[in-house]
Chains A and B, each alone.
Chain A
């Protein structure tokens, strides 16, 4: 025992010493030469160019050093929102401009009116600056801009169409459903790709006072236009970015709508031209350009960067990154449409140059994505409305009215007006929860015979405790602590890294809020769980019965085959099934011999698609469990029953089922919990379609955390999770009682 402790302590000391040394090195280096930290989320060429530029700066500058960190795109905004307020983030970072409002409010970034002075501003491509201005201050130094534009195959469409009507004429000509060819492919259920129509027809996202205005009549008109395009069948159903590019690469899409990021995914030898989207004429005869949403990639200075000397260095880095030579480098090598006007002089007439000029032309006909904090709340409801109108043909006036109500409802759930208590409050609540856990442990210890008994127990079984210690530590750190944090978070409201204590308000608005979808979602979840378990158990038991027949040949082979669905990672299976449920290219419709039936357009068919996928995933577990249970039933019971005159059905109901129950009951309890929380299938197969109707509680919690609110409605999501936990806990307690009853009767 003593030796174990000594070795453990030595190990800890070594690790600490190593850390301290590493810290010392860093400190010395930083003292010698200040280090400016730059974050970006670029990949591939763009990342390589940034690394190259930084390497050049570090080689030529002696006063400081730039340390660059590439953060995965998906986690980027979360990391920025989490790191900077805690003083651990970058000095400056490159990001899209749309969260400026939130960041400015949370002081994650700082105004840089002094950096983007009149001279700098006039050196930029016109139209970019408004995107980085929030409440009268400039917050970002534009580096590049991105928007979608019209890509066409010049062999199919030699001339860029000037109007949408012209485009549609060409598109209809180029469409041949029998050959799987389409004239005009764009992601027509995604607001981002719908935006050109919206703005082209005079639609808007916010009213004059900055309030959401989803139900604007022109927005309705824009979706009606999209419905018309969809009805002309020039767009395949359920377009995704992958499908769009593969159609274009196979010469099966004459025109597509996408951005510069797709440039690298166009296959070699596929001819293409990029030009601005055409004009559209509205019902009143007014002709306007189709304007996509414009994203400006800009450099931001951390709100924590206050030391003037250090800030000056960061500004210097920003200027270097955006100077002419480096802008040309980014334009040429990373194919970025850069913000510096002068760099465009270098654009030649080669392929890249023509593409660049296409996007440049689109810039003049674009709308900067609103950078107001309210923008985030719009996306998901607007997408759902658009999806429902395109998918099911529901009138957009109806879906947009619902979306408008939903945005307001969600804002009401997220935004309560309670005084901020800051992070201190969070610590207090989590601390209280941990204390509760400790108290509970203390009670358990008392039950065990008090601390003295526990200590003597530890002394006596020292080695055993030493073996258990790693697992115990891991459980504490990986399960109990996050659990306490999660439960605690449910009592807070989160806005871009700031937590505000709101007491029970999250729970109240979930359970009693007028706009809350909680009970509907709970109903779907219960239906989902029940129908899954019924299918899993009945299919599993049926297959187990077949596989347990001694007469069956190749039993082992079948057993392995049936377990394969279980052995595959569930998200891969889910993605495969999603592909199979595609209305035009999916195997399910092909096998059923139906054309173009869209599974995701109605609740029941989308629910069925989810159910089929999850049943595929879920029956093997029940089958294996049932097989185990079946082998433990003595054969002579069946013989006795046969002599008693019981037929196969009676033998199954009187012998097999009751004797399988003790084995199946725990499996059913487990399966219920897994299915209740089956995130992958719902999120990946139906994605909640249509209109979030097939979402279950756990995907809904995810959406609160990552798709709604300001930087994530973590509080609401945590409250959701706590409610889910409480429901499953009570289910388990009840189930344990029933199971004990069954086992008692065995």
Chain B
């Protein structure tokens, strides 16, 4: 159990800066998700925490102790790799036990802990198998068991679900959440999948170009994006961001753009009093809900539509778009959030 703090952490390869002065305080027992598009520096950050990459500048502390130059094995962290990195020549049992064997834990204790971890992750019947004889989900669970059995100070996950199909992904996600509840061990989790970020995290760190764009609870980040990048990166469908002049709405101060999530916009037949009127170009009927899309100015704009109440819409119909005022976000000329 550990608090991890990153102070001005940087990673450079020659002239290329991958991570630019990252500050982050991860509290003991907290589940932090690093999320961002490919190449944003999230995996590099995780690998610096793990000790697999050197830190070019800044300070990394675990429980207040500077660990920049501490070997990975001495940081007492466990990592689950995207590829699982299971030792192909060892059985599942040997894979799980390896970290304990290296640390010269007593044999009886190793067996006990491996059995416990295997039971927890439903691997008990598979302990004698080699990794090549396991399915993708089973391999993933072995990788987690290998981390759990060590009882490390923190778990590090590097896109652990990206090699699984959608259904498995949901199952394993639930398992990770369950593990988390059970151990409440500090966890740093890297993903590019916003659903994982939203569902698992205590706090989300949105990274872009090596810079933390926003740090906050999933709801904060979702409801009150700190800038246009965060606003458009999180949430499906993407948040609508249009010029303030296109909407009939009062904007605070020097705000230039107005953002609103499609879920927060209702399309109605009448246009009177609407934010703006829009011609329907495309309708997505997802069963539970339906979205209409059109253009406001040059920008694509989406809204929820209740066709049960409204009757079936057709392409080309004119709709009025309505939203609650407190669901609007405003951004200035630098793309930063302006609060009303």
Could you tell me which A residues sit within 8 Å of B by CB distance? 634, 636-637, 639-647, 650, 654-655, 658-659, 745-746
Assess whether A643 is in contact with B89, with CB atoms less than 8 Å apart. Answer: no
- Residues from chain B with a CB closer than 8 A to the CB of A642 are 51-52, 71-73
Assess whether A636 is in contact with B77, with CB atoms less than 8 Å apart. Answer: no
Given A642-B71, A642-B72, A644-B99, verify A658-B89 contact (CB < 8 Å): yes
Selected from B71, B74, B83, B130, the residue in CB contact (under 8 A) with A636 is B83
30 A-B pairs with C-beta separation under 8 A: A634-B85, A636-B81, A636-B83, A636-B85, A637-B88, A639-B52, A640-B146, A641-B98, A642-B72, A643-B72, A643-B77, A643-B78, A643-B99, A644-B73, A644-B102, A644-B146, A644-B150, A645-B99, A645-B102, A645-B103, A646-B98, A647-B73, A654-B98, A654-B102, A658-B89, A659-B88, A659-B89, A745-B89, A745-B130, A746-B89
B50 CB–A CB distance under 8 Å: yes
* B4 CB → nearest A CB, Å: 15
* A637 CB → nearest B CB, Å: 5
- Residues from chain B with a CB closer than 8 A to the CB of A745 are 89, 130
Most chain A beta-carbon contacts within 10 A, residue among B52, B74, B132 = B52
* A218 CB → nearest B CB, Å: 70
- Residues from chain B with a CB closer than 8 A to the CB of A746 are 88-89, 132
- Residues from chain B with a CB closer than 8 A to the CB of A659 are 88-89
- Residues from chain B with a CB closer than 8 A to the CB of A644 are 73, 98-99, 102, 146, 150
- Interface positions, chain B 36-83, Cβ under 8 Å from A, are 50-52, 71-74, 77-79, 81, 83
- Residues from chain B with a CB closer than 8 A to the CB of A654 are 87, 98, 102
Assess whether B88 is in contact with A643, with CB atoms less than 8 Å apart. Answer: no
- Residues from chain A with a CB closer than 8 A to the CB of B83 are 634, 636
- Residues from chain A with a CB closer than 8 A to the CB of B51 are 642-643
- Residues from chain A with a CB closer than 8 A to the CB of B87 are 637, 640-641, 654-655
| Interchain CA distance A250-B36 in the complex, whole Å | 81
Assess whether A650 is in contact with B102, with CB atoms less than 8 Å apart. Answer: yes
Most chain B beta-carbon contacts within 10 A, residue among A636, A644, A645, A650 = A644
- Interface positions, chain B 86-135, Cβ under 8 Å from A, are 87-89, 98-99, 102-103, 130, 132
| Interchain CA distance A639-B49 in the complex, whole Å | 13
| Interchain CA distance A645-B52 in the complex, whole Å | 12
- Residues from chain A with a CB closer than 8 A to the CB of B81 are 636, 639-640
| Interchain CA distance A646-B201 in the complex, whole Å | 31
Could you tell me which B residues sit within 8 Å of A by CB distance? 50-52, 71-74, 77-79, 81, 83, 85, 87-89, 98-99, 102-103, 130, 132, 146, 150
| Interchain CA distance A95-B71 in the complex, whole Å | 79
| Interchain CA distance A655-B130 in the complex, whole Å | 15
Selected from A637, A646, A655, A658, the residue in CB contact (under 8 A) with B73 is A646
- Residues from chain A with a CB closer than 8 A to the CB of B132 are 746
Assess whether B98 is in contact with A643, with CB atoms less than 8 Å apart. Answer: no
* A57 CB → nearest B CB, Å: 78
* A653 CB → nearest B CB, Å: 11
Assess whether B89 is in contact with A640, with CB atoms less than 8 Å apart. Answer: no
In chain B, what residue has the closest Cβ to A659? B89
* B139 CB → nearest A CB, Å: 13
| Interchain CA distance A643-B103 in the complex, whole Å | 11
| Interchain CA distance A643-B77 in the complex, whole Å | 7
In chain B, what residue has the closest Cβ to A637? B85
Assess whether A640 is in contact with B102, with CB atoms less than 8 Å apart. Answer: no
| Interchain CA distance A647-B73 in the complex, whole Å | 8
- Residues from chain A with a CB closer than 8 A to the CB of B77 are 643
| Interchain CA distance A79-B74 in the complex, whole Å | 75
| Interchain CA distance A640-B146 in the complex, whole Å | 10
Assess whether A645 is in contact with B73, with CB atoms less than 8 Å apart. Answer: yes
Selected from A634, A637, A639, A646, the residue in CB contact (under 8 A) with B102 is A646
- Residues from chain A with a CB closer than 8 A to the CB of B102 are 641, 644-646, 650, 654
| Interchain CA distance A629-B237 in the complex, whole Å | 47
In chain B, what residue has the closest Cβ to A645? B73
- Residues from chain A with a CB closer than 8 A to the CB of B50 are 639, 643
In chain B, what residue has the closest Cβ to A650? B102
| Interchain CA distance A115-B47 in the complex, whole Å | 98
In chain B, what residue has the closest Cβ to A636? B85
In chain B, what residue has the closest Cβ to A635? B85
Most chain A beta-carbon contacts within 10 A, residue among B77, B78, B89, B130 = B89
| Interchain CA distance A650-B73 in the complex, whole Å | 12
| Interchain CA distance A654-B83 in the complex, whole Å | 19
| Interchain CA distance A658-B72 in the complex, whole Å | 22
* B178 CB → nearest A CB, Å: 23
Assess whether B85 is in contact with A639, with CB atoms less than 8 Å apart. Answer: yes
| Interchain CA distance A644-B83 in the complex, whole Å | 16
- Residues from chain A with a CB closer than 8 A to the CB of B79 are 639-640, 643
- Residues from chain B with a CB closer than 8 A to the CB of A647 are 73
* B202 CB → nearest A CB, Å: 23
* B101 CB → nearest A CB, Å: 9
| Interchain CA distance A646-B99 in the complex, whole Å | 8
Most chain B beta-carbon contacts within 10 A, residue among A637, A643, A647, A655 = A643
| Interchain CA distance A650-B146 in the complex, whole Å | 17
- Residues from chain A with a CB closer than 8 A to the CB of B146 are 640, 644
* B334 CB → nearest A CB, Å: 39
- Residues from chain A with a CB closer than 8 A to the CB of B98 are 641, 644, 646, 654
In chain B, what residue has the closest Cβ to A639? B52
In chain A, what residue has the closest Cβ to B87? A637
* A613 CB → nearest B CB, Å: 35
Given contacts A642-B52, A644-B102, A645-B74, 7 further A-B contacts (CB under 8 A): A639-B72, A640-B79, A640-B85, A642-B51, A642-B73, A644-B150, A654-B87
| Interchain CA distance A642-B87 in the complex, whole Å | 13
- Nearest first, the 4 A-B pairs at minimum CB distance are A645-B73, A644-B99, A640-B85, A636-B85
In chain A, what residue has the closest Cβ to B91? A745
* A334 CB → nearest B CB, Å: 72
| Interchain CA distance A658-B94 in the complex, whole Å | 14
* A664 CB → nearest B CB, Å: 13
* A4 CB → nearest B CB, Å: 45
* A553 CB → nearest B CB, Å: 15
- Residues from chain A with a CB closer than 8 A to the CB of B103 are 645
| Interchain CA distance A643-B102 in the complex, whole Å | 11
| Interchain CA distance A659-B50 in the complex, whole Å | 24
- Residues from chain A with a CB closer than 8 A to the CB of B85 are 634, 636-637, 639-640
| Interchain CA distance A658-B130 in the complex, whole Å | 14
In chain A, what residue has the closest Cβ to B81? A636
- Residues from chain A with a CB closer than 8 A to the CB of B71 are 642
| Interchain CA distance A143-B81 in the complex, whole Å | 88
| Interchain CA distance A637-B98 in the complex, whole Å | 12
| Interchain CA distance A644-B73 in the complex, whole Å | 6
* A738 CB → nearest B CB, Å: 15
* B60 CB → nearest A CB, Å: 15
| Interchain CA distance A644-B156 in the complex, whole Å | 13
* B62 CB → nearest A CB, Å: 14
| Interchain CA distance A181-B52 in the complex, whole Å | 65
- Residues from chain B with a CB closer than 8 A to the CB of A655 are 87
- Residues from chain B with a CB closer than 8 A to the CB of A641 are 87, 98, 102
Most chain B beta-carbon contacts within 10 A, residue among A637, A639, A642, A658 = A639
| Interchain CA distance A283-B263 in the complex, whole Å | 123
* A49 CB → nearest B CB, Å: 72
| Interchain CA distance A647-B99 in the complex, whole Å | 11
| Interchain CA distance A654-B88 in the complex, whole Å | 11
In chain A, what residue has the closest Cβ to B99? A644
In chain B, what residue has the closest Cβ to A745? B89
| Interchain CA distance A562-B224 in the complex, whole Å | 62
Most chain B beta-carbon contacts within 10 A, residue among A641, A645, A647, A745 = A645
* A564 CB → nearest B CB, Å: 34
* B32 CB → nearest A CB, Å: 18
| Interchain CA distance A659-B77 in the complex, whole Å | 25
* B114 CB → nearest A CB, Å: 13
| Interchain CA distance A647-B150 in the complex, whole Å | 17
| Interchain CA distance A74-B132 in the complex, whole Å | 60
* B144 CB → nearest A CB, Å: 13
- Residues from chain A with a CB closer than 8 A to the CB of B73 are 642-647
